[in-house]
Amino acid sequence: MKPAPFAYHDPRSVDEVVDRLAEHGDDAKVLAGGQSLMPMLALRLARPAVIVDLNRVGGLDDVRASDGGVLHLGALVRQRAIERWATTPAPLLSAALRMVGHVAIRTRGTVAGSVTHADPAAELPALFAALDGVVVARSRQGERTIPASELYVGPLTTSLRSDEVVVETRWPLPPAHAGWGFHEVARRHGDFALVGVFAVVTVSSGRIDAARIALFGVGPTPVRARDAEQSLAGAAVGAEAIGDAARLAADALDPDSDLHASAWYRKRVARTLTERALTDALSRARSSR
């Protein structure tokens, strides 16, 4: 199929972008990497009257790490570029990106685009939630920051307003001594995950100081396993703590059944993958000290 007709705007500044969005509101869509938008246009799942293209706007492809360990990524930063850059400074981010689609998709697709497309089975929104990331959005009213905990409101739905454009995503990176784990199950490499889990832990004196666990493919949005995280805080490192946390993470889920997997299967796999992700995270945490 071919897209429905639309008007095309090719602005050169963020101010021009927000002017077009303010003018057209819900009738406009922003184009960055296009790896989600273009298929939706072709299938006429999206029929915007106006496309606002960011690709010639200067200053949106910056990559900057602040002193506080926060990675700042402009809205046009491509996934493949960060996959390569992050291998040493942020290996969890690099590992997650390697599982996003295929190289051709990651070469064009943007990090911000995946984060705000909000597919509940995608890797980057879940990792963004696990790290308590922040989206920076701009409109005619000014700039506001939206934490990941307030960003995702439903499948493919965020709290961004129609007159706002994302200019940056901020990723608080785990400290150097933290351990991480990441596991997912998909039918084929490059497919969206049936179930996936990220885990980040810090350890001292044989006990877990803090843990973060986020799951994807198991609900309408990325899921933080808060009860499991709390159970691990202060717990002795060992199989018992891992097993209890994995059980709590799975018990809190209420996934849907679909053509690809049943709800029972997703809960069962979520428990297993949480155990594996936490085991890997604790192993890395111990070896980094």
Domain ranges of the chain: 7-53, 63-172, 179-288
pLDDT of 176 reads 87
So what CATH class is 63-172? alpha beta
Give the SS3 label for residue 195. Answer: strand
**pLDDT attached to residue 7:** 97
Tokens 């922003």, residue? 30
What is the Cα–Cα distance from 35 to 209, expressed in whole angstroms? 39
- What is the arithmetic mean of pLDDT over 68-85? 96
Q: Is a pLDDT exceeding 70 seen at residue 93?
A: yes
pLDDT band at 68 (very low <50, low <70, confident <90, very high): confident
Mean pLDDT of 247-263: 96
Lowest mean per-residue pLDDT among 1-10, 11-20, 73-82, 135-144: 1-10
Instruction: Report the pLDDT value the prediction gives residue 67, as an integer from 0 to 100.
Output: 82
Q: Which amino acid is at 221?
A: T
- Count other C-beta atoms under 10 Å from residue 91's C-beta: 15
Residue 1 has pLDDT above 80, yes or no: no
- Ramachandran region, residue 142 (left: φ > 0; alpha: ψ -120 to 50; beta: rest): left
Q: Which CATH architecture describes the domain 7-53?
A: 2-Layer Sandwich (3.30)
What's the pLDDT at 289? Answer: 64
Distance set, CA 31 to CA 13, 16, 53, 54, 119 (Å): 14, 14, 5, 6, 17
| Per-chain mean pLDDT for the chain | 96
The predicted structure's pLDDT at residue 286: 87
How many helices (H) and strands (E) are present in the chain, helices listed first? Answer: 11, 14
CATH fold group of domain 179-288: Enolase-like; domain 1 (3.30.390)
190-193: which pairs have CB atoms within 8 A and are 24 or more residues apart?
190/101, 190/102, 190/105, 192/119, 192/121, 192/122, 192/217, 193/99, 193/121, 193/122, 193/123, 193/217
pLDDT range class, residue 104, cuts 50, 70, 90: very high
CB 158 within 8 A of CB 119: no
pLDDT attached to residue 287: 82
**pLDDT over 70 at 87, yes or no:** yes
What are residue 260's phi and psi, to 5 degrees? -90, -30
Which residues are within 8 A (CB) of 188 and not within 5 positions of it... i.e. 6 or more apart? none
CB 75, CB 112: distance < 8 Å? yes
pLDDT of residue 190: 85
